Every structure is written in C-alpha cells, then in structure tokens.
Amino acid sequence: MIKKLRMANRVTIYIRKLRYQEAKNRLLHELDKAFANGYLEAEIIHGIGTYTLRKMVEEEIAKLDYVRPCSHQPNPGAYHVQFLQIPDDLRKEYLG
C-alpha cells in the first residue's frame, strides 16, 4: 500500500507485518512507482521487531541507483530515502 503526501512530496510505503519475500516485492514495486511519479522522498515503515525487514530494506536500497538513504533516521521502525532528481523526460527515458 502506498500513501501519498503530495504537500511534502513524500510517499509512505508500509511493509510492516509482511513476510520477508512479500515485503521485498512490495518495497521494490512501490519504490519504482514512487520514482516514476516524481516523488522526492519515501518513508518505509518496516516496524521494529528483529530488524529483519530493516536489514532487507538497507540491502535493497544499496542495490538501487535512483535512491539513497537519508543521513538522519529518527524512527527505529522506519527508514527514510531520497530519490534521484532528474527532469521528467529523462526519467521516462530511464524507465524505458
């Protein structure tokens, strides 16, 4: 599920309480969708638990070239990222 906060141009992605593979699939799908729609930031809600989902988020973010982690992570149950900012026409070309 993706929740849009256009005022701040930030999207919230909920993967809390999902199984590992389902959370990974949703994370990658929603990040792609948010980047394609021109969002600036995303907050990924993974919950606290054993940090399994947070570790997965960190690993997957490191593999992507259009998103980077924010330097400040204030909430232990969430992970904040910023998207690469490129003009709309180049973003569409990048996405194919």
Could you report the per-residue pLDDT of 23-32, keeping only the tens digit for each?
999 999 999 9
Cα-trace Rg, the chain: 13
Domains and CATH numbers, the chain: 2-95 (3.30.1370.110)
Query: Bigger pLDDT: 60 or 36?
Result: 60
Has residue 51 got a pLDDT over 80?
yes
- What average pLDDT score do residues 35-61 get? 94
**Confidence bin at 94 (pLDDT 50/70/90):** confident
Determine how many CB atoms are found less than 10 A away from the CB of residue 42: 23
Rounded Cα–Cα distance for residues 87 and 14 (Å): 27
* pLDDT the model gives residue 15: 98
Query: Bigger pLDDT: 93 or 6?
Result: 93
Please give the structure tokens belonging to residue 20: 């590992």
- Report residue 83: phi and psi, to 5°: -95, 150
